[in-house]
Amino acid sequence: MLLTILVHEGPYNHQASDTAYNFIKAALGKGHEINRIFFYHDGVNNGYNSADPPQDDRNIYKRWSELGKGGIDIVCCIAAAKRRGLKDELLMEGIRISGLGQLADAVLGSDRLVTFG
Amino acid sequence: MLHTVNKSPFGHSALDECISMAADGATILLIEDGVYAAKAGASYEGKLKAAMGNVKVAALGPDLAARGITACIEGVTVVDYDGFVELVAENKMTAWV
Amino acid sequence: MDDMKKIMFLMRQAPHGGIYSYEGLETILIFAAFEQDLSMVFVGDGVFALVKGQDTTGIGIKGYIKTYGVLEDYGVEHMYVDKASMEARGLTTDDFAVPVEVVDAATISALMEEQHAVIPY
């Protein structure tokens, strides 16, 4: 099954990023495909490369980056990113900035939209 | 339809709204702080049991464990992330974020 | 169009206190370009977004109540309001800035089941 993942909240402040990640790992493990991960609202804060979380905790940014480098398309909404100071030079590798059309396109082309917020 | 609720019913209206709009036979999956609704002996138990006359209720086990909830309301199914994925594969999803 | 998909936007957040309903509106305007069967349903505090007479000058936040008025031109066919949510907040359709369809929870429930996707804001 082809899934689109929508994340509405930023990392650490809410559990949404963690739940989304755990869900995606399980979905991939069961043979499902991720069409696109789309970060919206404060969700775009998941894309920053400048954060430095404590070593003894999970690194949410790196986890996303690894999924992106592994071939999953990960998009931060450009309008939401601009509001929050996120730009290309501040993006983790494997994550890109693009428009809301990328969400529409993904939702329409997927079997399921799975939202975390 | 699969409905997910990630907010505690004690501070948010999300679960109330979800229950009012979940069709007969739908599944409500409690995740994150939503799992507090599944705690046995709490004041939401009556409402959840009433809802369970029409809908199925599940709770995400890792979220229950993380919050020290060991006793769930009778009839609540506990699932892991694989179970969450299976519910999504079987149903379209509405998230009451 | 034969392959039109039904997309419902579930609006549950009040305006101004958070950005969700505003950014949700931005999403709908983009989805409109894809010529799908779009609807919005206002539930809970989401109904407050539609209240007329909102004046945000004093809080320094850009108001967007007027945008709801153009949604029909963008192809948003239906704007539903949950009857119980509206009544619980002391509102009637006269309080809204745009025409809406007031429906009960069972109707919304049935509509939800028809959707390709429900996007919450």
* pLDDT tens string C86-115: 999 999 999 999 999 999 999 999 999 999
A43 and A10 Cβ atoms separated by less than 8 Å? yes
Using an 8 Å CB-CB cutoff, list chain C residues near B92: 115-118
User: Residue C1: is its pLDDT beyond 90?
Assistant: no
- Nearest residue of C to residue A77 by CA position? C27
Closest CA to A26 of C83, C94, B83, B11: B83
Using an 8 Å CB-CB cutoff, list chain A residues near B32: 15-16, 19
* pLDDT tens string C79-94: 999 999 999 999 999 9
pLDDT at C23: 93
Spatial distance between the Cα atoms of C91 and C47, rounded to a whole number of angstroms: 9
Q: Is the ipTM of this structure higher than 0.85? A: yes
CA distance C94 to chain A (A): 31
C4 Cβ contact list (under 8 Å, min separation 6): C35, C36, C37
CA distance B24 to chain A (A): 21
CA distance B56 to chain C (A): 15
| pLDDT (mean) for B10-27 | 97
Interface of C with A in 36-75 (CB under 8 A): 36
A16 and A48 Cβ atoms separated by less than 8 Å? no
Q: What percent of chain B has pLDDT over 70?
A: 100
A60 and A49 Cβ atoms separated by less than 8 Å? no
- Nearest residue of C to residue B17 by CA position? C44
Query: In order of start, what are the domains of chain C with their CATH numbers?
Result: 6-120 (3.40.1260.10)
Helix axes A60-69, A16-29, angle to 10 degrees: 30
| pLDDT (mean) for C26-45 | 96
- Give the domain ranges of chain A: 2-71+78-116
Distance of CA C46 to CAs C53, C83, C116, Å? 16, 12, 22
Is A76 one of the catalytic residues?
A: no
What is the pLDDT of chain A when averaged over all its residues?
98
Q: What is the DSSP letter of B23?
A: P
Q: What is the DSSP letter of B73?
A: P
Architecture in CATH for domain A2-71+78-116: 3-Layer(aba) Sandwich (3.40)
* pLDDT tens string B58-83: 999 999 999 999 999 999 999 999 99
C11 and C40 Cβ atoms separated by less than 8 Å? yes
Of B21, B22, B92, nearest to C115 by CB-CB distance is B92
Closest CA to B8 of B74, B64, B54: B64
Spatial distance between the Cα atoms of B9 and B14, rounded to a whole number of angstroms: 7
pLDDT at C2: 53
Query: In order of start, what are the domains of chain B with their CATH numbers?
Result: 2-95 (3.40.1260.10)
